[in-house]
Amino acid sequence: MSIINNFRRNRIKNSFSQFDRVLTFSVAALLLIGTLLVYAATKSWFASQGLDPQYYLKRHIVNIFIGVILAYGTTLIDYRLLRAYTPIVWGLAVLGLVAVLIPHVGSTVNGARAWISFPGGFQIQPAELAKIAIIVGISMVLAEKNDANANPTDIDVLKALAISAVPMLLILAQPDLGTVAIISAAILAIIATSGAPTRWVVGLLLVAIIGGFGAVKTGVVSDYQIKRLQSFVDPSADPQQSGYQLRQSRITIGSGGLVGKGLFSGPQTNGRFVPEQQTDFIFTVAGEELGFLGSGLILALFMLFFLRAFMIVRRTNDLFGRLVGIGVIAWFAFQAFENIGMTMGLVPMTGVPLPFLSYGGSSMFANLIGLGLLQNIHLRS
Amino acid sequence: MSQRSRLNVIVVQALVASLMFALLGRLFYLQVADTGKYQDAALSIQSRDIVTPAIRGAITDSSGTPFVMDRPGMVITIDRSIIDKLADTGTSIIARVAKLLGQKPEDIFQRTRLCGELPVASRTGCWNGTRYQPIPVTRDATQAQALKVLENADRYPGVDAEPVPIRTYPATAGENAAHVLGYVGSVTEKDLADPTKSYYRNEVLGKDGLELIYNQYLRGAPGVKTVIVDRKEAITQQSRNTKPVPGYNLVTNLNVKLQAATEKALESAVRRSKSMGYKADGGAALVMDVNSGKILAIASYPTFEPSMWEKGLTVAQAKNLYSDAAGVPALSRPLQGMYAPASTFKALSVVAATKAGYNMSARYDCPASVQIGNREFKNFETKPLGKIPMQQAIAVSCDTVWYQIAYDEWVRDGGLSPKSDLNDYFFKTAQGFGLGKKTGIDLPGEATGRLPDRAWKERYYQANKDFYCNFESRAKKSDLTPYLIAIAKENCVDGGKIRAGDAVNFSIGQGDTLMTPLQMVVTYAAVANGGTLYEPQVARAIIKPDGTVVKEFTPHVNGTAPLTPADTAFLHKSLRSVATVGTAAGVFASFPIHVAGKTGTGQVFGKNANGSAKDDTSWFASFAPVEKPQYAVVMVVSQGGFGAAVSAVGVKDIYTALYGVSGSTVDPKKAIFPDGIPSKLPTIDLRAVTLAKQ
């Protein structure tokens, strides 16, 4: 009994001290900056409306708190044992994704039916859960080899694709192309890393490109997405909606200059010229108020995070851990690129939040679970 | 772990790194390389200028009495960006506003249309700004009308009322002065785009006349409050607040009473001419100080109400301004009207003839007609007078004397084969007096007139040669008369040459010669003062509201006319005899002021719109008193008939007011300038005028 207790205590003690400190530091710094930015994005606007200026700040801190607990929880169980839970997580995600499509259950924000509303104003975005389910799920399938040096076969790849196809089609139906793109990037990275035949990587890349074009051409993509795409190419095409957002977003970032207007003092931000600023356009707050130095710091922190995460992935000898790790990295990296690139007019507009910075519960929880997974792999490599 | 797997991790890492560096690069571009552009864009999104218009300066006469000044008015605006979104695109709102203001809905409709929305032909009165600024439909609403709009905001969506300073015309002496004053209007997009002038959208600018020329002084500086707004246009902070600076006052050389008298004299001359059966479709009258070029009065007929812009120009009013039927009231005839000078030109012919060596004391034959080539040039009144002194030839306006002299000089210059060393006494004299050139008056749109000398003739020929040489195929059917065909043939061959007929016509101010009334008054002032060609000046000084003089306009000499003292003396004597024994003797009989002048009755070729032949141009150009000339007074009535009966009487009316003449005596106390033309600047007190009006 005492031995077991001792073992547990040791393990917990060890896990705290043995976390990758650089990874923890970079995420902590991003969370801190994100908290300030969410506050800056909402403070003066809410105050001018006679509302609680700290409304979003408080909720954001609660989200982080819950997220940190989830992340810590994720590190407790050996990730290799996590496979056991994968079918449950996958099942919950698919259920949630089906639920959002049911009228009166799912709520539509910005053209995408992506949220399930609960009484008390809480909303859950099942797609965030689906990201984890798919990454862990296909990693499991592709790593399930007795011989450590054997590469996945075509059958394994097909299985992995089958697992991801169901939630992805459901997300496509919302429609949330941005998330589909992120998951696709993660799947590609995992398959490439798994040692599966190269033709799969090349083939899937082609499918993604052709599928993207086809979706626009055949009308699978909804009007609002085509408008967003058009206004990316020509911001005057839809000047009232997405064109407006893109222009305002770019102006807000550009006007920050080298050192920015100072935290809480950005006139574009305080005037609320950029819509959705505490969520998808959080980076514009950094751009205007913290300038190139501040927003460059955010990019630097992301780079530090990825550098460290790749180190963890390379160190582990376990293929499953490596695949999960590479999947999480690809997810964060592609999502950060999509989000920041959108605010700067580099990629078309999509509705994805910026990992660790944007306001939003589901996304924050998923991101921190992702961090937990990386730490877990680190602890056990 | 397969080798491929390890390699692929590195590939993925490289891809992630490239994504991150792409972001960093773009960030650098936006925030460092190109930040200026975005900072400007952000500023224009966030900042709003609230502009309080400055009080525009007054335009006064030389005694400080205002012709035009600002008073508090009430502007009613319609916001197209709001009414366009209504179900009926604002039709009912426009109708309601029209009813409230007692105007026609069509007029309000027209005024609220962007010029680009209307066909080119029907743009009169259209709005020259954008859809997104409130469009003023009147600046002269009553308090009651404004209150109705403000208190019933639900019935007047997109309609607003606010106090603004507006131009008001006190007309203390009953003067109109519309052409010389000009008018003000809203800033146009072009003005706003001009980086050298920092105009604000709701400012008014001078559009014509003195308001245009001296806009920079009259305008003042609007008060600007710059505020930072949020997306809902709520003000979040204020970054600049300057008070409006009132514009400077413009003192002119004009005099309200003389201006009123001149306008009245012109109008009655036109009426008199009409009552005699002439068309009399317009006229001009000017009074100038011969010793400084100061314009003391300047009148144009027909005229218009200067305040109609502020009240909101109706479509009918706008069309009327340029309508032929109404006599094109927009035309400022003193400087834009061009007329054949006719016999008034003989003053210059005298100068040319003395230069050519003719003795002005000698007698010259004045037959009924002179044969020039195959054409017979007749006297205006075909009465042979025999050999008469030159002074009498001027007094009775004998033409044949000049036909002979001009023909002889033309022959001496080589006729149709001009010599290389041309004397061209007549052309050179006209050039010396500045004909065919602008006088440089401080008013916009001055015409040059036309001096048909050899160079002009050649230019004209080159431009029309093709037409003359193909006359039978190019001309209208109705113009294919044997006479016109013959003339065209002649013109085709040597149309670029001055022919005998041209030289002869030129000497009596006919043919292609055209002068503006302004050129005429400058010319006669030069004859009066011994040859100084002054630049006519309306402005006298720019004075700040506190009385500080900003700028004084001193007389400016454009040049010296080729006039010897002997010419001057002879012209004074002979032009005086026009009023004593000559063509205007009847008009000036027993008039106590010794006026010297010349009548002119100009033949006009061409037809009126209704096909009738054009009536003669009636001129009288003069100066007085002949002993010590002070004033030059000119009047012209186009299609007015005889110079004496119409214009000379009009000029006499002006002198009557100027000197305070009653009957055959002068009452110096009634004179416009009892102490002479004012040389001191007045003190301007506009409060008294404002109080009198309210």
Q: Write the pLDDT tens digit of every residue in A73-110.
A: 999 888 888 888 888 888 998 999 998 888 777 777 66
List the single residue in B with minimal CA-CA distance to A329: B16
In DSSP terms, A197 is beta-bridged to: none
Name the residue with higher pLDDT: A281 or A145.
A281
Nearest to A257 among B11, B26, B39 (CB): B39
| Per-residue tokens: B204 | 């008014």
User: Which CB contacts under 8 angstroms, 24+ apart, belong to B601-608?
Assistant: B601/B342, B601/B343, B601/B380, B601/B641, B601/B642, B601/B643, B602/B339, B602/B340, B602/B341, B602/B342, B602/B509, B602/B510, B603/B340, B603/B342, B603/B510, B604/B340, B604/B638, B604/B639, B608/B279, B608/B639
Domain membership flag for residue A258: yes
List the single residue in B with minimal CA-CA distance to A342: B23
Q: Tell me which DSSP letter residue B221 carries.
A: B
User: What is the ipTM, given to two decimal places?
Assistant: 0.91
Model confidence band, residue A17 (pLDDT cutoffs 50, 70, 90): confident
Domain membership flag for residue A291: yes
pLDDT value of position A10:
47
- Checking if the pLDDT of B86 tops 90, the result is no
Domain membership flag for residue A255: yes
Domain membership flag for residue A324: yes
What is the tally of structural domains in chain A?
1
Model confidence band, residue B197 (pLDDT cutoffs 50, 70, 90): confident
pLDDT value of position B692:
44
Model confidence band, residue A351 (pLDDT cutoffs 50, 70, 90): confident
Does the distance separating the beta carbons of A252 and B35 come in below 8 Å? no
- Checking if the pLDDT of B481 tops 50, the result is yes
Name the residue with higher pLDDT: B211 or B120.
B211
B-facing residues of A in 324-363 (CB < 8 A) are 326, 329-330, 333-334, 336-337, 340-341, 344-346
Does the distance separating the beta carbons of B26 and A254 come in below 8 Å? no
Instruction: Domain of residue A183: give its range.
Output: 25-85+134-379
- Checking if the pLDDT of A6 tops 60, the result is no
B154/chain A closest Cα distance in angstroms? 25
Check if A73 contacts B (Cβ < 8 Å): no
pTM: 0.69
Nearest to A295 among B1, B20, B27 (CB): B27
Q: From CA B599, how far away is CA B636, in angstroms rounded?
A: 10
Least confident of A36-40, A225-229, B326-330, B616-620: A225-229
Domain membership flag for residue A127: no
| Closest by Cα among B515, B481, B487 to B501 | B487
**pLDDT tens column, A317-330:** 888 999 999 999 99
Nearest to B236 among A149, A193, A271 (CB): A271
B116/chain A closest Cα distance in angstroms? 22
pLDDT value of position B1:
53
Nearest to A270 among B6, B232, B236 (CB): B236
Q: From CA B478, how far away is CA B464, in angstroms rounded?
A: 19
Nearest to B16 among A151, A267, A306 (CB): A306
Check if A139 contacts B (Cβ < 8 Å): no
Beta strands in A74-231 (DSSP E): 106-109, 112-118, 122-124
**pLDDT tens column, B547-560:** 999 999 999 999 99
Please state, for a pLDDT cut of 70, what percent of chain A lies above it: 85
Q: Which chain A residues contact residue B43 at CB under 8 A?
A: 255
Q: Which chain B residues contact residue A248 at CB under 8 A?
A: 45
Domain membership flag for residue A108: no
SS (H, E, C) B151-206: HCCCCCCCEEEEEEEEEECCCCCCCCCHHHHCCEEECCHHHHHCCCCCCCCCCEEE
- Checking if the pLDDT of A280 tops 80, the result is yes
- Checking if the pLDDT of A238 tops 60, the result is no
Q: From CA A168, how far away is CA A179, in angstroms rounded?
A: 9
pLDDT value of position B693:
45
- Checking if the pLDDT of B128 tops 60, the result is yes
Disruptive mutation site among B8, B30, B85, B132 for chain A (greatest number of A CBs within 10 Å): B30
- Checking if the pLDDT of B181 tops 90, the result is yes
Nearest to B228 among A267, A306, A333 (CB): A267
pLDDT value of position A223:
62
Does the distance separating the beta carbons of A251 and B45 come in below 8 Å? yes
Nearest to A329 among B16, B37, B231 (CB): B16
| Per-residue tokens: B317 | 């009013």
Establish, for the pair of chains A and B, how many residue pairs have beta carbons separated by less than 8 Å: 150
| Counts of helices then strands in chain A (DSSP H, E) | 16, 3
Model confidence band, residue B595 (pLDDT cutoffs 50, 70, 90): very high
| Per-residue tokens: A33 | 């900056």
Does the distance separating the beta carbons of A330 and B8 come in below 8 Å? no
Nearest to A195 among B4, B27, B38 (CB): B4
Average pLDDT over residues B305-332: 86
Model confidence band, residue A228 (pLDDT cutoffs 50, 70, 90): low
- Checking if the pLDDT of A140 tops 70, the result is yes
B-facing residues of A in 257-316 (CB < 8 A) are 257-258, 267-268, 270-273, 287, 291-292, 295-296, 299, 302-303, 306, 310, 313-314
Mean pLDDT score of chain A: 85
Check if A172 contacts B (Cβ < 8 Å): no
Q: From CA B88, how far away is CA B93, in angstroms rounded?
A: 9
Does the distance separating the beta carbons of B4 and A270 come in below 8 Å? no
**Any alpha helices (H) in B77-166, and if so which ranges?**
80-83, 91-101, 105-111, 143-151
Q: From CA B272, how far away is CA B267, in angstroms rounded?
A: 9
Average pLDDT over residues A117-132: 81
Model confidence band, residue A244 (pLDDT cutoffs 50, 70, 90): confident
| Per-residue tokens: B3 | 């080798």
Domain range list for chain B: 72-168, 463-495
Domain membership flag for residue A367: yes
Mean pLDDT score of chain B: 90
pLDDT value of position A4:
47
pLDDT value of position A177:
85
Least confident of A99-108, A122-131, A159-168, A346-355: A99-108
| Per-residue tokens: B653 | 């009316």
Q: From CA B78, how far away is CA B134, in angstroms rounded?
A: 5
Average pLDDT over residues B576-591: 94
Name the residue with higher pLDDT: B326 or A356.
A356
Least confident of A168-177, B287-296, B392-401, B514-523: A168-177
| Counts of helices then strands in chain B (DSSP H, E) | 27, 25
Model confidence band, residue B610 (pLDDT cutoffs 50, 70, 90): confident
Least confident of A208-222, A285-299, B124-138, B408-422: A208-222
Residue with tokens 């006519």: B536
A53/chain B closest Cα distance in angstroms? 16
Least confident of A257-261, B381-385, B667-671: B381-385
Model confidence band, residue A1 (pLDDT cutoffs 50, 70, 90): very low
pLDDT value of position B552:
95
Disruptive mutation site among B4, B6, B12, B231 for chain A (greatest number of A CBs within 10 Å): B12
Check if A5 contacts B (Cβ < 8 Å): no
Does the distance separating the beta carbons of A333 and B46 come in below 8 Å? no
pLDDT value of position A333:
96
pLDDT value of position B646:
94
Check if A192 contacts B (Cβ < 8 Å): yes
In DSSP terms, A360 is beta-bridged to: none
Query: What angle, rounded to 10 degrees, do the helices at B346-355 and B400-412 form?
Result: 40
